[in-house]
Amino acid sequence: MDYKKIYEEWVTNPFFSEETRQELLAIKDDEKEIKERFYADLEFGTAGLRGIIGAGINRMNDYVVAKATQGLANYIIHRKKQSRGVAIAFDSRRCSPEFADVAALCLAANGIKAYVFESLRPTPELSFAVRYLNCVAGINITASHNPAEYNGYKVYWEDGAQITPPHDAGIMREVKSITVQDARTMPKQEAIHEGLYEIIGKEVDDAYIAELKKLVIHQDCIDKYGKDIKVVYTPLHGTGNIPARRILREIGFEHVMVVPEQELPDGNFPTVSYPNPEAAEAFELALALAKKQDADLVLATDPDADRLGVYVKDKEGEYHALTGNMSGSLLAEYELSQIKATRGIPEDGALIKSIVTTNLVDGMAKEYGVELIEVLTGFKYIGQKMLEFEQKGHGTFLFGFEESYGCLIGTHARDKDAIVATMALCEAAAYYRSQGKTLWDAMIDVYEKYGYHVDKIETLTMKGIEGGEKIKSIMDQLKANTPKEIAGRPVTWARNYDNDTAINMKNNAVLPTQLPKSNVVYYEMEDGTWLCVRPSGTEPKIKFYYGIVGSSLEDAEAKAEEFKNELLKMIDHMM
């Protein structure tokens, strides 16, 4: 791909706006920046398109959004499903409403009706809306928890989950076969007049909230303790503010305090450098308010409200951060134990997690007699399993989660849902209070019952072309030279999901991984330690996930620190 030629085309062709032309002329003497913007097209990763906002084929802009949407429209038309329409949502990021309209008007110009939310909505509600409105697909304009300079474009299929094979490959083939100038559009008023652009809002909101209420198990405990439990919540300038507060208010939590500095939508995220509930920085204002108000738990949702970060207070008044593995395990134990106690576990019940998620719940699945299913990273694969259950008529989804602070309770959505997680965690707080326990007590009970598992992640950010090459080099080295031991621990099994092999390191027996091809390697070690390495599908990063088992929380943390230090030496050697 001749990036200079494409750059010149964008600068000189009157098809592109004067604003775009001026932005690109401003970098005419910056060879590296021109190359970064034009050396390749943005491609779908685990969550669709995601990139820095700006002019160029490797950036998020109106033209790239329109091209992606034209490809989606072509795919829908080829499958003869254009009569069912597409639901479109957007978050609080810069350009999100504009990108949503670009997508809607492209669909309308192709004769496909667009159902566009009147204002920002959370990702799980978009997932819900696709099925509620019987749409063939959904589009969500969001970059989730990425920094402010990013935006993105997630595509959902008719089952309400993000696109998986064969649809992802089919849509991308269509996108790659056209240019930005092939994308169609039409005037908004004309689209509305022809019934191809419909604004949606309250009806879908009410239906979504109604589905969440059906998932409450212990309304009795909420009625008794909901007026006493104090919750501090922050939407981190994103979409969670209205739905999270609404569901908690309507089921009976009276003391929900929102961080005022982070309440209103703002795509610049002025109070944080990185609007991610995984980051301690995101909780600084919330924790200050929690300590002032003596709150019982502190909750933060990311900008599109599919991830939930949590701090819980113990009986001594100290706040403890729960990782995504911890909060997911705590909620899994609560949901499974209470489903068993109130209505019984179905014979075909299933708990689904990604391969980089904690093994803490493995024992939980055995305890409650449910099938434990592992899938590749990306919640779309959990959604894919849910669809498989429906198609086969066998399998009852009970709980699904990823280590990256995302889980799903119920089948109303097919993506991570921080709104339902917020509701369930507050309900669990009320239930455990009825037992004389805090949520931290409940977390320790989980460890005591299933073992002290500590799970960590080391992330290396490597931006640009050079960074991409370094990431590829690390992955290539691991695939070509399977380590016999890591941090002094003998490797017992080595899985390479890129070539579908699982090798027993003791006898060299080779089995299939039984999962789709993916650029991931995974190592199991003798003492229950594990390590998984994969490039991020949404950011210029390579991630090293690992899990350790100890005799206590302190012991597991100490062993994890030791393992991290040895892992960093190994990474440094590969660099």
Using CB atoms within 10 Å of the CB of residue 63, give its burial: 0 to 12 exposed, 13 to 18 middle, 19+ buried: buried
Q: Which long-range contacts (CB under 8 A, 24 or more apart) does 197-201 make?
A: 197/104, 197/105, 197/108, 197/113, 197/114, 197/116, 198/113, 198/114, 198/115, 198/116, 199/116, 199/117, 199/118, 200/87, 200/115, 200/116, 200/117, 200/118, 200/129, 200/133, 201/117, 201/118, 201/119
In tens, the pLDDT along 404-447 reads: 999 999 999 999 999 999 999 999 999 999 999 999 999 999 99
Domain co-membership, 48 together with 165: yes
Of all residues in the chain, the percent with pLDDT exceeding 70 is 99
Mean pLDDT of 71-93: 97
Most confident by average pLDDT, 302-316, 477-491, 526-540: 302-316
Mean pLDDT of 165-188: 93
d(CA 402, CA 357): 6
Q: Where are the alpha helices (DSSP H) in 177-240?
A: 188-193, 202-213, 219-225
Q: Respond yes or no: is residue 473 known to be catalytic.
A: no
| Dihedral pair phi/psi, residue 554, rounded to 5° | -65, -45
Domain co-membership, 54 together with 136: yes
Domain co-membership, 425 together with 462: no
Q: Compute the radius of gyration of the chain from its Cα atoms.
A: 24
Query: What are 88's strand-pairing partners?
Result: 116, 139
- Which of 96, 144, 329, 404 is catalytic? The answer is 144
CATH code at position 259:
3.40.120.10
Domain co-membership, 120 together with 249: no
In tens, the pLDDT along 365-375 reads: 999 999 999 99
Q: What is the domain range of residue 311?
A: 224-450
268 pLDDT more than 90: yes
Residue 215 belongs to a domain: no
pLDDT of residue 194: 98
Band of pLDDT at residue 274, cut at 50, 70 and 90 = confident
Mean pLDDT of 67-85: 97
Mean pLDDT of 533-562: 92
Domain co-membership, 28 together with 46: no
Domain co-membership, 437 together with 517: no
In tens, the pLDDT along 440-468 reads: 999 999 999 999 999 999 999 988 888 88
Domain co-membership, 176 together with 228: no
pLDDT of residue 467: 84
531 pLDDT more than 70: yes
In tens, the pLDDT along 329-383 reads: 999 999 999 999 999 999 999 999 999 999 999 999 999 999 999 999 989 999 9
Q: What total of structural domains would you count in the chain?
A: 4
Sign of CA dihedral 331, 336, 341, 344: positive
Domain co-membership, 505 together with 413: no
pLDDT of residue 44: 65
